[in-house]
Amino acid sequence: MSWAAVKGHEKLVASFQNVIRRGRLAHAYLFVGPPGVGKKRFAVELAKTMLCEDPAASVRLEACDQCSACVQIAALTHPDYQQIGIPEDKHEFPIDLMQDLISHLALKPARGKHRAAIVDDADTFNDETANCFLKSLEEPPPMSLLILIGTNPDRQLPTIRSRCQLIRFAGLPEEVMAAHLVQEGVAPALDAARQLLQLSSRNLADARLLADPATRTFRREFLDGLSQPNADSVGLGQKLVKFADEGVKESAVKRQRAALALKFVIDFLRAAILTQNGGQPPLADPQDAKAVRRLAESVPPDALLRMLDRSLEADYQVGRRLQLVLILEALTDALGQAA
Ligand SMILES: [Zn+2]
- pLDDT (tens digit, 9 = 90+) per residue, 180-204? 899 989 999 999 999 899 888 888 8
The mean pLDDT of the chain is 90
Residue 334 corresponds to which amino acid?
A
pLDDT at 136: 82
Give the model confidence (pLDDT) of 200-213 as tens digits. 888 888 899 999 99
How many Å apart are CA 256 and CA 187, to the nearest integer? 20
CA of 2 from ligand 1 middle (Å) equals 9
- Using 50, 70 and 90 to split pLDDT, how confident is the model at 178? very high
Give the model confidence (pLDDT) of 294-319 as tens digits. 999 999 999 999 999 999 999 988 88
For residue 239, give the nearest of 219, 256, 255, 253 by alpha carbon. Answer: 219
pLDDT at 1: 55
pLDDT at 141: 81
pLDDT at 305: 94
CA of 69 from ligand 1 middle (Å) equals 6
CA of 151 from ligand 1 middle (Å) equals 29
Q: Which residues contact 201 (CB under 8 A, 6 or more apart)?
A: 263, 267, 284
CA of 183 from ligand 1 middle (Å) equals 26
pLDDT at 218: 94
- Using 50, 70 and 90 to split pLDDT, how confident is the model at 261? very high
Note whether 287 and 307 are within 8 A (CB): no
pLDDT at 302: 94
pLDDT at residue 81 above 70?
Answer: yes
Model confidence pTM above 0.85: no
pLDDT at 130: 92
Note whether 60 and 45 are within 8 A (CB): no
